[in-house]
């Protein structure tokens, strides 16, 4: 069971679960048989839980996607790869720790695996800049994309970022250019590529690693043009209205499927990925393997063509 | 003075007084005069137009609408607009303080444009090129599905016709009201430019006041040559977002054309009066190999 602090909307469930624990404790301490009461509560909790996580509001999904214990890229690397060798640096003076990449073997298949890294602690978060890459991170990723293309390695990117870092240095070294260049260059790669948004997929910072043949979202991940908070403060003129903005932006996996922006949704364990990282990783692994199996049937030219057409049809016009 | 003379004089006075005192309405004044954002001097609109929307006193470059751009940059009557009837939808059924549909109507009224971009082909000192002009007065020049689609079709048409492409950007970034579909326009346009790049055709990106966000992070920064127009502010993240994130004051020249030039993000800065000649020179030099 999830022993981390509950999110606001989970509190009623948490209250029932705490009660169950108390009763169990009481029963062991006093020897009184409370099994009936406990069983009723457990059943109640189970039903409540099912309902709760099926009917999540977009803003609640956003909370799960940002959960402090949500598995990070490194966790998934350790759970889905048979072998992993990190490749560091952009060769121009920087090794951005918000984007990590390297050679990996997944179910016997060598791939180039690249992802944005967040932390599960303050120290880790500081090291990885809370998952917000600088231009140098995107350029490191690009170097690894080229490497993959040269050696015909399929590319897998795992995305969980609140966005590309908005800072002085990032502007000076060309955050916009770095992302733009990745979009263009990824489109011309001839190896199969898939992207999976596992948490936050915010804006150009996410897209800069996601011009792939296929894009998937974890069940409670979200993918958006701007964070709900940013949207609320600009359009609703009130940062407090982030929850309304989250509704309006259509950022959940279901919405994105309906809008034709992603190929599929990857199931999470009840309550979110942090409740069972191993199960989540297995689901991710299955998606990677089956997608690459299919994409590898395409010729290099077809890979490019498919990617072009995939993005070409995005949008709705009259 | 006879009594009738006196009446006649008074009538005349009244007339002249009345004529002189009819105040112009605010909108009429605004039509005739414009105040410079920089030196705050009043400039006659006519004079400003003749000077390509550049302040004759301090050289400040005003924002330019697409119709003026066509006039300033292209040879007379050479512009052939394409895809002008593509209109925006409301795929998200988006409502903030007002419904997106209503915003579109207001933007149409305010800008007399049906979207934030016009695209087509034209001649620059007799050289043919694909051109796109963005207009900030339509929803802040934001890029939604229509801007992305028109831009992409233009790029594809340039590849077909083997012509160079010139884009003039003026945009706050992606259009939030179309959510993720706006983000996808960044990918779509960049993919098309990927094809153009492989076709080895020249693409010149001109960044005008202001160019930010999703436009900077897609076709804005993908030019083979990138020109910042004088007085343009250009960046990825907005000034306010950066200030809130780093909690320190930003340098005064932050994200100005000069600043971008200093940090190697653009090839050159162009004065508006020089832009046409600069573009034509660039086209000619790159056409040399053919």
Per-residue pLDDT of B171-219, as tens digits, reads 999 999 999 999 999 999 999 999 999 999 999 999 999 999 999 999 9
The pair of three-digit structure tokens given for residue A276, joined into one six-digit string: 């069972």
- What average pLDDT does the structure give for chain A? 95
- The partner residue sitting opposite A314, judged by closest CB among B187, B263, B265, is B187
CA distance readout (Å), A85 to A113, A139, A176: 10, 19, 29
Contacts of A170 in chain B (CB under 8 A): 236-237
Contacts of A259 in chain B (CB under 8 A): 91, 180-181
* Closest to A300 in 3D by CA, of A156, A146, A188: A188
- The partner residue sitting opposite A167, judged by closest CB among B183, B186, B245, is B245
Distance from CA of A282 to the nearest CA of B (A): 28
Does the structure show a pLDDT above 60 at A222?
A: yes
Residue B13: its pLDDT value, please?
65
Does the structure show a pLDDT above 50 at A1?
A: no
Percent helix / strand / coil, chain A, rounded to 5: 50, 15, 30
Q: What is the pTM of this model?
A: 0.93
| Residue A236 touches partner B, C-beta closer than 8 Å | yes
> Does B265 sit within 8 Å of A180, measured CB to CB?
no
Residue from B150, B217, B250 whose CB has the most chain A CBs within 10 Å, to mutate = B217
pLDDT < 50 positions in chain B: none
- Which position has the token pair 């190929």? A263
> How does residue A5 score in pLDDT terms, banded at 50, 70 and 90?
confident
> Does A203 sit within 8 Å of B221, measured CB to CB?
no
* A 246-305 → B contacts, CB under 8 A: 248-251, 255-256, 259, 261
Distance from C-alpha of A184 to C-alpha of B233, rounded to nearest angstrom: 24
* Closest to A312 in 3D by CA, of B224, B87, B209, B190: B190
Residue B21: its pLDDT value, please?
60
The residue of chain A nearest to residue B176, with distances taken between CA atoms, is A225
Note the ipTM here: 0.95
> Does A312 sit within 8 Å of B241, measured CB to CB?
no
> Is the preceding peptide bond at B202 cis, omega within 30 degrees of 0?
no
* A 207-226 → B contacts, CB under 8 A: 207-208, 210-211, 223-226
Residues facing A120 on adjacent strands: none
> Does A176 sit within 8 Å of B216, measured CB to CB?
yes
pLDDT tens for each residue of A137-186:
999 999 999 999 999 999 999 999 999 999 999 999 999 999 999 999 99
- A-B contacts at Cβ under 8 angstroms: 193
Q: A193-202 and B80-82: which strand pairing?
A: unpaired
Q: Residue range A266-277: average pLDDT?
A: 96
CA A253 to chain centre: 11
Contacts of B186 in chain A (CB under 8 A): 180, 183, 204, 207
User: Where in chain B do CATH 3.90.226.10 domains reside?
Assistant: 63-287
pLDDT tens for each residue of B226-240:
999 999 999 999 998
Residue A107: its pLDDT value, please?
98
| Residue A308 touches partner B, C-beta closer than 8 Å | yes
Distance from CA of B33 to the nearest CA of A (A): 31
CA A204 to chain centre: 14
The residue of chain A nearest to residue B150, with distances taken between CA atoms, is A317
Class in CATH terms, B63-287: alpha beta
Burial of residue B278, with CB atoms counted within 10 A of its CB: 0-12 exposed, 13-18 middle, 19 or more buried:
middle
Distance between the two ends of chain A, CA-based, in angstroms? 50
Contacts of A249 in chain B (CB under 8 A): 92, 176, 179-180
Residue A2: its pLDDT value, please?
45
Residue A294, C-beta contacts closer than 8 angstroms, at least 6 positions apart: none
> Does A248 sit within 8 Å of B96, measured CB to CB?
yes
Contact A292, A192 (CB under 8 A): yes
- The partner residue sitting opposite B88, judged by closest CB among A179, A307, A317, is A317
Distance from C-alpha of B248 to C-alpha of A311, rounded to nearest angstrom: 39
Residue B16: its pLDDT value, please?
55
Distance from C-alpha of B8 to C-alpha of B19, rounded to nearest angstrom: 17
Residue B74, C-beta contacts closer than 8 angstroms, at least 6 positions apart: B122, B123, B124, B131
Torsion sign (Cα): B156, B159, B161, B165: positive
Contact B50, B252 (CB under 8 A): no
> Does A166 sit within 8 Å of B242, measured CB to CB?
yes
Distance from C-alpha of B132 to C-alpha of B158, rounded to nearest angstrom: 11
């Amino acid at each position: 069971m999830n022993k981390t602090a509950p999110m606001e909307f989970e509190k009623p469930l948490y209250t029932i679960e705490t009660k169950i624990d108390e009763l169990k404790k009481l029963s062991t301490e006093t020897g009184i048989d409370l099994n009936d009461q406990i069983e009723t509560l457990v059943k109640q909790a189970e039903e409540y839980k099912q309902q709760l996580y099926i009917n999540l509001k977009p803003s609640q999904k956003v909370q799960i996607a940002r959960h402090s214990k949500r598995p990070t890229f490194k966790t998934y690397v350790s759970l889905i790869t048979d072998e992993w060798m990190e490749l560091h640096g952009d060769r121009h003076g920087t090794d951005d720790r918000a984007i990590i990449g390297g050679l990996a073997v997944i179910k016997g298949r060598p791939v180039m695996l690249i992802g944005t890294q967040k932390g599960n602690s303050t120290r880790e978060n500081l090291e990885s800049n809370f998952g917000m890459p600088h231009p140098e991170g995107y350029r490191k990723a690009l170097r690894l994309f080229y490497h993959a293309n040269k050696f015909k390695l399929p590319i897998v990117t795992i995305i969980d970022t609140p966005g590309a870092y908005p800072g002085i240095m990032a502007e000076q070294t060309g955050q916009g250019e770095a992302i733009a260049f990745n979009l263009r260059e990824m489109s011309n790669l001839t190896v199969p590529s898939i992207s999976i948004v596992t948490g936050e997929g915010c804006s150009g910072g996410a897209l800069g690693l996601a011009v792939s043949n296929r894009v998937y979202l974890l069940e409670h991940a979200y993918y958006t043009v701007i964070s709900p908070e940013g949207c609320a403060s600009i359009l609703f003129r009130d940062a407090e209205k982030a929850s309304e903005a989250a509704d309006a932006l259509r950022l959940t996996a279901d919405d994105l499927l309906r809008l034709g922006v992603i190929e599929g949704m990857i199931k999470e364990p009840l309550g979110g990925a942090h409740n069972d990282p191993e199960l989540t990783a297995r689901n991710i692994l299955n998606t990677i393997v089956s997608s690459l199996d299919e994409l590898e049937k395409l010729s290099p030219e077809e890979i490019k063509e498919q990617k072009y057409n995939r993005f070409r049809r995005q949008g709705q016009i009259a | 003075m006879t009594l009738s003379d006196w009446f006649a004089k008074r009538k005349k006075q009244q007339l002249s007084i009345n004529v002189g005192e009819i105040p112009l309405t605010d909108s009429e004044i605004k039509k005739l005069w414009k105040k410079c954002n920089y030196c705050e001097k009043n400039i006659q609109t006519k004079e400003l137009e003749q000077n390509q929307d550049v302040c004759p006193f301090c050289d400040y470059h005003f924002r330019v609408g697409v119709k003026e751009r066509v006039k300033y940059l292209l040879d007379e009557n050479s512009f052939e607009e394409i895809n002008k009837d593509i209109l925006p939808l409301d795929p998200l059924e988006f409502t903030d303080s007002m419904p997106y549909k209503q915003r579109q109507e207001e933007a149409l009224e305010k800008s007399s444009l049906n979207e934030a971009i016009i695209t087509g082909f034209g001649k620059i000192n007799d050289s043919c090129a694909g051109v796109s002009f963005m207009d900030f007065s339509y929803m802040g020049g934001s890029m939604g599905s229509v801007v992305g689609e028109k831009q992409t079709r233009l790029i594809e048409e340039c590849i077909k016709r083997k012509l160079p492409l010139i884009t003039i950007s003026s945009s706050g970034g992606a259009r939030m009201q179309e959510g993720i579909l706006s983000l996808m326009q960044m990918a779509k346009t960049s993919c098309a430019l990927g094809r153009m790049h492989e076709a080895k055709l020249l693409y010149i990106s001109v960044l005008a006041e202001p160019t930010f966000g999703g436009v900077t992070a897609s076709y804005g920064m993908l030019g083979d040559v990138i020109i910042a127009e004088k007085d343009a502010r250009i960046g990825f993240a907005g000034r306010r977002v950066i200030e809130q994130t780093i909690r320190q004051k930003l340098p005064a020249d932050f994200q100005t054309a000069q600043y971008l030039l200093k940090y190697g993000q653009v090839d050159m800065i162009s004065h508006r009066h020089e832009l046409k000649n600069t573009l034509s020179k660039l086209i000619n030099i790159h056409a040399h190999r053919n």
